[in-house]
Amino acid sequence: MQSLFGLSHDTTLLVWTVLAIAFLIIMISKFKWNPFVTLLISALLLGLVSGMKAADVITSVTSGLGGTLGTIAIVIGLGTILGKMMAESGGAERIATTLIDRFGEKKVHWAMMIVGFIVGIPVFFEVGVILLIPIVFTVARKTKMSLLQIGIPILAGLSTVHGLVPPHPAPMIAIDAYQANLGKTILLSLIVGLPTAIIAGPLFGKYIGKRIQAAPPASLAEQLSEKKISNLPGFGITLLTILMPVILMLIGSIADIADPDATSGFTVFCEFIGHEVIALLISVVFAYFTLGFARGFTKEQISKFTSECLAPTATIILIIGGGGAFKQVLINSGVGTAIAHVATNAHINVILFAWLVAALIRVATGSATVAMTTAAGIVAPVLAATPGASIELVVLATGAGSLVLSHVNDAGFWMIKEFFNLSVPQTLKSWTVMETLLSVIALVFILILSIFV
């Protein structure tokens, strides 16, 4: 790649990345281009100007799109079916009604954060969103509250757990890389995570909900929440159905922690049923019986529900795939490496260093898991050479950094945009700000704890 105006290779690469992201945002928000098409064009342009071979750019785009959708498309499909069964049976209505009754309409957004925090422990963020979106839609409809005031607390709970709280797979990566103590990390993650989720969730959600009026897409709202059923299913069986994938994934996580080498057949079985795809598939079949046949639906009706609920997800799936293509070009073009070089040359506190490395890679690649994995490899030797540092706090700092500034190269950004029916600027003002608040507030709490730990 030719240097731009005499700049270094890394700096030139970062300049092209900024321009590609600016092009993407302007074309979608100002000129109203289709996000999927614009993401593909941006990915191709960035790959070419960054010096990649044309064939490699195409490979990156296709592998990034396919790799992203390989799991997420299945998760969205199965999760939407599960949500449809909850809606048709009245299960989402039952959970929403119970939460409103217990907490009251004015405090229900606090309940949403707790739900997101608990559900998010064993599941990836995208899975949690799919599981809980019918409840968000239903609570918003019943309380007449802003969709963001209900949704942001759930997203904050899910995202906090994703970045900070073991046994979620992302923080487990850093725990393994740094050889941190699992129990101590869990304790510290709760001390940091709960107040962080409160500030970025219910408090920020109430603030932004008054300023951005959002309504769910009509097609999805009809599929997932707008059902008027007088005889609702029991709260217990509904809760068991919605938590079934969470329970199965938690079983898989515990088995992996107890027997990381999978030496027994029982561990292999637990890990198999704990995989998000298998857990959701089992849960959908379970829902067919608990919320389908047990509620008096015929097999023809259940088949109809399954088929008709998938059509509205096509656009969401394509856009998420486009985000994956853009992310892969960023990685393969060397942007992640350039970011790492910039961060490594900064001689700062190891906690700040871990946060900064993860944050820069997150901004460059759009993936919290990629940021956590890459940062762990960069930070581990620095941590080993820093006596007296709290390893567990460095784990949390890495996780906090991996959450910052979700934007157009993050599949989660497009998922939130589409599910909450937001424009790109609205998504940046709500979702992106929430993620950045989570990251920065967590860092502040971690630095305070470092004084005492």
Greater pLDDT, 290 or 2: 290
Q: Quick one: 134 and 171 in the same domain?
A: yes
What is the C-alpha R_g of the chain? 22
Are 291 and 305 members of one domain?
yes
**Tokens standing for residue 358:** 């993860």
- How far is residue 72's CA from residue 66's CA, in Å, rounded to a whole number? 10
- pLDDT range class, residue 156, cuts 50, 70, 90: very high
In a domain, residue 3? The reply is no
Query: How many Å apart are CA 269 and CA 267, to the nearest integer?
Result: 5
Domain-located, residue 435: yes
Which residue shows structure tokens 């008027």?
Answer: 228
Across residues 116-134, what is the average pLDDT?
Answer: 73
Tokens for 177? 């890389």
Q: Is residue 321 part of a domain?
A: no
Q: Do 231 and 248 belong together in one domain? A: yes
pLDDT tens-digit readout, 417-443? 888 888 888 899 999 999 999 999 999
On whether both 304 and 347 belong to a single domain, the answer is: no
**Do both 149 and 209 map to the same domain?**
yes
* 357 & 304 share domain: no
- Can you state the angle between helices 313-332 and 350-365, rounded to 10 degrees? 120
Q: Is residue 327 part of a domain?
A: no
Asked whether the predicted pLDDT for residue 168 surpasses 70, the reply is: no
Please give the tally of structural domains in the chain.
3
Q: Which of 282, 314, 346 is the last residue of a domain?
A: 314
In this structure, the chain runs to a length of 453
Kindly state whether residues 90 and 56 are assigned to the same domain: no
Domain-located, residue 268: yes
Question: What is the span of the domain harbouring residue 404?
Answer: 334-452
| Final residue belonging to a domain, choices 283, 314, 345 | 314
Whether residues 294 and 343 fall in one domain: no
Looking at the fold, whether 272 and 415 belong to one and the same domain comes out as no
- 149 closest CA partner among 83, 191, 205, 80: 205
- Per residue in 296-353, pLDDT (tens digit) is 889 898 888 888 777 767 776 787 778 778 778 877 888 767 766 665 666 678 889 8
Q: What is the pLDDT at residue 438? A: 94
Residue 1 lies in a domain: no
Residue 436 lies in a domain: yes
Query: Mean pLDDT across the chain, nearest whole number?
Result: 81
448 — pLDDT class (breaks 50, 70, 90)? very high
CB atoms within 10 A of CB 310: 15
The mean per-residue pLDDT over the stretch 95-110 comes to 80
- Do residues 351 and 441 share a domain? yes
Q: Copy the structure tokens of residue 69.
A: 């959708």
Residues 124 and 43 grouped into a single domain: no
Verify that 379 and 230 share a domain, yes or no: no
For residue 109, is it within any domain?
Answer: yes
